[in-house]
Structure 1
Amino acid sequence: MTAGGGHEVEGRSAARVRNELMAEMAGVLAATETVRRQTGADMLVQDLSAELRLSVDPPQDQPLGLWSRRVVKACAETDEGLQTLARCLGYAEQASVSVLALWRLVDEWEAAAFFKDTDLHPLRPVLREIRSTALLTALARRASHSRTQELEEWCDTGWEVFLHLAGDNTAAEELPPSMAFLSLVSEYLVKEGRTEEAEHLRRWNRKQAQLRGLAEEMAIWQQGEFVSPGEASLHPAYLLIQFEPDGVDPDSFWVAHWRQSDSDGWHPIPGETLKLHRDELPAAVDRLIEQAEERWWDLRQPVVIEFILPWALLGESVEWWHKESDAEVPTPLVMDYTVVVRSFERLRRVAWHRPWNNRWRQLKDRPAESRSHWSPPNQSAFQLERELKDDQQIVCLVLSEPPGTDSPAARQEFVAALRAGIPAILWDRGDFGAAFREAAADIVQERGLAGVLERIRRWRNDALALGPDDWHRHVGRHLALLLDDPERLPGPSGSGSDPHSAR
């Protein structure tokens, strides 16, 4: 079967596939609120003309369907034109239903171009039944060798993920990510007892491998061990939230965040960076947690929240900030998550990283030979730093007074710990004296990382059990643990205002 001089393909012709996709895109575009209003259509035309250097006439008196078809056709004939069309529509409508629908069709257009002689629709019924976000994310990560970390908002079934991966670049001597994804899906279906559907995908994939000369790459890929992504990972997911001082206004901070849920490696995904007043920080954290939970709705891994705090905020009880703070009874973060703090100053001071890495390796590789140190009150910072650097087995310091205050001695004590590379620092945000010493002795007697986190969690749970009216009387409400892992660096911050260029 041929159409309009297109290649003859199995099922629909290549020309028919292109025409049908352009018709669908035009239909989506014509139905949008943006295009149906003259001012919106004019703005879309201006954005397209600016980004594509493409002459697009406004609709004026033309039927919207015909005009939309012409716009789509013009964009399809331009490099990156359809992606630009979807992006420009997103400027006006954000993540509307129409924008997401257009992105799905753009991905299908790219996939049709990649698999140029094949009708992809026979794959759709099987792939559309796979809807677990956690499963799809894990499969996409593995298929792309971790180049894809999070799914786009419109990729809500296996069909959309397959189409999106088909537009990704493929490294030399690698199986294309879309075909690797199909192979992983077929393995998953076999484990689910859906062998007929799995064989359908395998036959299709084998044929493509033969057509593309990828039989060897396919064989190598299939030799890899399949690990079911449906199994709960022992590696937690992380939400890193960083507060960077503005540098001008002492009460303003640049808030950056990263999400990390890849159990196969450390690949944090940056979010938007915002400048906020100190009073706005708890509400911003609440929003970030809600967004992460929405994205991770079927994640089986435990979640750890790490606050990267500057000196000025170390006195904040961030562990006890709330999620769902607008609820009648909001939830303290420590009820649902493991929460630790990290040092912003240490992350930025690269000259301190060598001793930090060395101490971390001591704690990680030789926990039985590692130990804690209690900072004596009124000891000079020089003597403390000397003692810490004299004993490379010290990996945890119990501070004599809380950091984040105006006390010069407290700052010097904290900096001495950072210079010595101490990865774990424990302190009392209240003034609990003997009760804190008892809790700290219990926590630091456990030399392994997991044990330290578990013991501090128990003390916090004891405080939680007293309820909001009384937990402030329990030392567990005031325990702070800084646990800095040099192997988990956040990486560059995401889109939004750049705190460095803005200064």
Structure 2
Amino acid sequence: MRPAREASRRYSPAVVEERRRLVGQIATAMETSSVIRDPGSRQLLLQELNHALAGALGYRELSLLRPQIVELVTVCVDRPGGLRRLVDCMELLDPGSEHTVTLLRLADEWHTVELFIDYDFPWLRDVLSAVDVTGELRRFVAETRATPPPPWCRTAWDLLTHLASANSHASVPPWLTLLDRLTPAVPETVQERMRDLVAQLARDWGVTEQIEASQPDLPAPVGTAYLVIQFEKYGGDDDSYIMSHWYQWSSPVWQPIRGEDRRVWYGELEAAVDQVINETERRWADQSGAVTIEFVLPWQLINEPVDTWRKELQSPLPSPLTTEYPLVIRSLDRIRAGHWHRVWRNRWQGLPRSDGDRQLIHCASRHQVDVQLQAALNSKSSVAVLVLSETPTANSDGERQLLVGLRSGVPAIVWHRNAPSTKDLCETVASMIGDQVSGRGVVELPRHAARLRQLAWSEDPDVLGPHVGHGLVILFDDPDRQPGRTAATDDGRRKVLA
């Protein structure tokens, strides 16, 4: 909550000049708008503004247009939330126009001036306006506000005003966290001044300990950007699914952004996925790094050959997803079955241990199903990878083994669609994990599988060919990254993922 301002404090000349500058820029942006220049539209704007402010504006009618606009803007900025209401009404009458976008940006900047009005801050605008927006800064804002920053946010000052204009219930105001992050990015000559401002703001907001305890973000490891695509059966009888998706660029905190849901018929699933991937790639056009795609599948689709799906289907040369992305599947049934989650987390959280001779892989035999398999898994709490004896088709032993593996909390379950011998498949999985008893090899399993699939395509372009990389299926479930849920500790605070 913003600290109370002393009524007797007088604004510095620099702050007064900032206010005058913004009123002038807002008036100029409005003066060239067709909504203002047309008398009928202007009257409609005033009518909508009266409704928005729940009362008469109480400003003087002047004969000249420019002074009348300045009078209107001045009246609005002197009323709590008045300028934002004015811009909202302009957007209602002239949505998406250049004038409206300019006004939205200026309204955010005005809110920042109001927020910092008791501080020596005008220098900050010049400094941050010279700092370009990076992908990491965009990710931070996207995760904080659950939506990407608008395209007009091209500088750090734009991002700051964008964050400062939004209400937040976080203990540390997001704009203050952003300022703290920006300190190393400004010129050395003003870094000390920046630190002093952050410290003063932290004291006034009562969050000094949280700011001091914050650590600089470590570089995000390669492959921690995710696109999660989920299918869920629609209704009972028809052949359609609700397709949902979430996306998040590299971040140690799991707080994905949810995309728009859509209903898709079974025969159109691949094309719908292609569309979502293209949309996400356009959104990440200014990023660099690896992306993992995860398919969250219901039981009806658990053996769907998503690893053979392609992207850019409308092009003359569609390409397999697996040649570009690490790709795994996940179980919607396990994510929805909360009574399975404790044992699931137990196995996942046991991965970092390196306490001697641990068995990380269990290869099920053809006769090991149901109770026998469950007892074997429960007696080996270190098992993190289950290799099925066969493809989990309907009513097969492989399907029953898969169900036992999910119930027993095994994070990674592997099978092969083209049915190589179980022994060969187990040896392949063991070679991918290596001798890392700490479980790090299990965590890297999706990346190793991606390389194996790429090798298969480079050596044998026949998807049904003999290479073990064709038809290899990896079900890989991290309980700390569930679609629709952010990572949190028991007391509700967000948890940093390893």
TM-score, with length taken from structure 2: 0.76
Are the counterparts in 1 of residues 18 and 122 from structure 2 also a CA contact under 8 Å? no
Question: Which of 448, 467, 470 in structure 2 is aligned with 1:455?
Answer: 448
Give runs of aligned pairs for residues 249-260 of structure 1, distance below 5 A: 249-260=237-248
Q: Compute the displacement of 1:66 (Å).
A: 9.0
Alignment-derived partner of residue 400 in structure 1: 389
For residue 392 of structure 1, give the secondary structure of its aligned residue in structure 2: coil
Q: For residues 320 and 15 of structure 1, what CA distance do their matches in structure 2 show? A: 59
Q: For residues 161 and 338 of structure 1, what CA distance do their matches in structure 2 show? A: 32
Alignment-derived partner of residue 179 in structure 2: 182
Are the counterparts in 2 of residues 381 and 412 from structure 1 also a CA contact under 8 Å? yes
Pair 1:438 & 2:435 matched: no
Q: For residues 292 and 203 of structure 2, what CA distance do their matches in structure 1 show? A: 45
Pair 1:351 & 2:339 matched: yes
Q: For residues 399 and 56 of structure 2, what CA distance do their matches in structure 1 show? A: 62
Are the counterparts in 1 of residues 138 and 149 from structure 2 also a CA contact under 8 Å? no
Are the counterparts in 2 of residues 149 and 262 from structure 1 also a CA contact under 8 Å? no
Q: Compute the displacement of 1:107 (Å).
A: 0.9
Q: For residues 365 and 49 of structure 1, what CA distance do their matches in structure 2 show? A: 65
Write the letter of the residue equivalent to 1:372: I
Q: For residues 19 and 128 of structure 1, what CA distance do their matches in structure 2 show? A: 19
Q: Compute the displacement of 1:429 (Å).
A: 2.2
Alignment-derived partner of residue 111 in structure 1: 112
Deviations 1:200-249 (A, max 9, x none): xx43663686599649966984686545x7x5545712221111211335
Decide whether aligned partners of structure 1 residues 346 and 261 sit closer, same or farther in structure 2, where only a CA change above 3 A counts: same
For residue 242 of structure 1, give the secondary structure of its aligned residue in structure 2: strand
Alignment-derived partner of residue 166 in structure 1: 164
Decide whether aligned partners of structure 1 residues 18 and 477 sit closer, same or farther in structure 2, where only a CA change above 3 A counts: same
Q: Compute the displacement of 1:114 (Å).
A: 0.8
Question: Which of 143, 149, 153 in structure 2 is aligned with 1:152?
Answer: 149
Q: For residues 133 and 386 of structure 1, what CA distance do their matches in structure 2 show? A: 51
Q: For residues 301 and 257 of structure 1, what CA distance do their matches in structure 2 show? A: 20
Alignment-derived partner of residue 469 in structure 2: 476
Q: For residues 336 and 315 of structure 1, what CA distance do their matches in structure 2 show? A: 21
Q: For residues 164 and 91 of structure 2, what CA distance do their matches in structure 1 show? A: 22
Alignment-derived partner of residue 497 in structure 1: none
Alignment-derived partner of residue 26 in structure 1: 30
Are the counterparts in 2 of residues 385 and 420 from structure 1 also a CA contact under 8 Å? yes
Write the letter of the residue equivalent to 1:206: D
Q: For residues 439 and 84 of structure 1, what CA distance do their matches in structure 2 show? A: 64
Deviations 1:332-353 (A, max 9, x none): 2222221111000110011111
Are the counterparts in 2 of residues 9 and 119 from structure 1 also a CA contact under 8 Å? no
Deviations 1:294-321 (A, max 9, x none): 3333434432111111112222222332
Alignment-derived partner of residue 360 in structure 1: 348
Q: Alignment identity in percent?
A: 31
Alignment-derived partner of residue 9 in structure 1: 13
Q: For residues 89 and 487 of structure 1, what CA distance do their matches in structure 2 show? A: 43
Are the counterparts in 2 of residues 14 and 117 from structure 1 also a CA contact under 8 Å? no
Q: Compute the displacement of 1:489 (Å).
A: 1.6
Deviations 1:13-71 (A, max 9, x none): 4652452253145247x258xx8999999998998788766789xxxxx9998998788
Q: Compute the displacement of 1:327 (Å).
A: 2.3
Question: Which of 290, 306, 318 in structure 1 is aligned with 2:306?
Answer: 318
Pair 1:414 & 2:418 matched: no
Are the counterparts in 2 of residues 304 and 338 from structure 1 also a CA contact under 8 Å? yes
Write the letter of the residue equivalent to 2:105: R
Pair 1:203 & 2:193 matched: yes
For residue 477 of structure 1, give the secondary structure of its aligned residue in structure 2: coil
Structure 1, unmatched stretches of 5+, are 1-5, 57-61, 494-503
Q: Compute the displacement of 1:482 (Å).
A: 0.2
For residue 362 of structure 2, give the secondary structure of its aligned residue in structure 1: strand
Q: For residues 211 and 483 of structure 1, what CA distance do their matches in structure 2 show? A: 44
Write the letter of the residue equivalent to 2:480: E
Q: For residues 387 and 212 of structure 1, what CA distance do their matches in structure 2 show? A: 55
Q: For residues 365 and 169 of structure 2, what CA distance do their matches in structure 1 show? A: 57
Question: Which of 358, 365, 372 in structure 2 is aligned with 1:383?
Answer: 372
Give runs of aligned pairs for residues 200-279 of structure 1, distance below 5 A: 202-203=192-193, 206=196, 214=204, 221=211, 226=216, 231=219, 233=221, 236-261=224-249, 263-279=251-267
